[in-house]
Structure 1
Amino acid sequence: MKVYAYADGASRGNPGLSASGYWLLDESHRLIFKRAFYNGKCTNNVAEYMAVIEALRKALELLGPDAEVVLVSDSRLVISQIAGKYKVRSPNLKALNEDAKVLLGRFRSHRLLNVRRENEYVSKVDADLNELLDSIEEGGADTAPGPKIHRGDNFQAKI
């Protein structure tokens, strides 16, 4: 099975309050699973990596190593670092980069796509992050790191 993992991170201030999230879609672009979560205070690049790592973990958990994953992000830095096109200079990002590469290596195959933030699905993930951060800033959400989870109607766990 092919899965599309649309991942995004956001930070209000850099560093500042941050959130990460992702949507997992099947080959027909139907929602399998989505999540938005609070990271606390960190940089935008850390938030982007956290989104990628958690998306890959969840895709592996739900679909297993036989899945083909297409990782889609608007972060040129993160996609280029994972692909080995850019060096990872920041000590904070080195471990995250390695985690992402290890997770990608567990899938049957993978592709990395860097898209514009206006991409239909990346913009939906971004809207989820902004909703979560707005709620935190207004005091209406628990600031303990944790998931906002939704399973798509067509979700089928791998047995």
Structure 2
Amino acid sequence: MRGRLFTDGGARGNPGPAAYAYVLEDENGDVVAAHGEAIGVATNNVAEYSALIAGLEKAVELGVGELEVVSDSELMVKQMRGEYRVKNEALRELSVRAGTLARELGAVRYTAVRREHNKLADRLVNEALDAAG
């Protein structure tokens, strides 16, 4: 199966109350999994990586073989593509975990988009933050 994974993370304050969300679509654009979750106090970047890891775990579980990851976190996308070094220790551990999961899938591409092109994942993050608040 080929798919597209939309991820988003956010914190109200940085760090502050944080949440992540992902939406996994199949090759036809049908949503096969979606999840949003509050993660306590974290930074925006930790929340972004948490979304990526959770979404990759779900993609592995569902047997996705080829995946496009779509995120509005340009930093995370460039780090996962290897264009930027991961200097922050907490993010380095998360990026290593994400890379390990991505290798289980086979082909993974990372695409950065503006927030308005990531509406459902963004909405799920805010709903998780509102519910936790």
Q: Same fold (TM over 0.5)?
A: yes
Q: Can you give the 5+ residue segments of structure 1 that lack an aligned partner in the other structure?
A: 138-159
* Aligned match of 1:133: 129
* Aligned match of 2:19: 19
Q: Specify the structure having the higher radius of gyration (Cα).
A: 1
Counterpart CA distance in 1 for 2:60 and 2:128 is: 25
Superposed displacement of residue 6, structure 1: 0.4
Within-5 A mapping of 1:80-119: 80-119=78-117
* Aligned match of 2:69: 71
CA deviation digits over 1:87-145, x for unaligned, max 9?
Answer: 111111110011111111111211111111110xx2111111111211222xxxxxxxx
* Aligned match of 2:45: 45
* Aligned match of 1:54: 54
1:113 aligned partner, one-letter code: T
Asked if 1:32 is matched to 2:32, the reply is yes
More helix by share: 2
Counterpart CA distance in 2 for 1:107 and 1:130 is: 29
SS at match of 1:63: coil
Query: So what's the TM-score if we normalise by structure 2?
Result: 0.96
* Aligned match of 1:124: 120
Superposed displacement of residue 18, structure 1: 0.3
Superposed displacement of residue 27, structure 1: 0.7
SS at match of 1:135: helix
SS at match of 1:106: helix
Runs ≥4 residues deviating over 3 A? none
Query: So what's the TM-score if we normalise by structure 1?
Result: 0.81
Counterpart CA distance in 1 for 2:20 and 2:82 is: 23
Counterpart CA distance in 1 for 2:128 and 2:21 is: 10
- Matched-pair identity in %: 39
SS at match of 1:14: coil
Equivalent residue pairs, number: 133
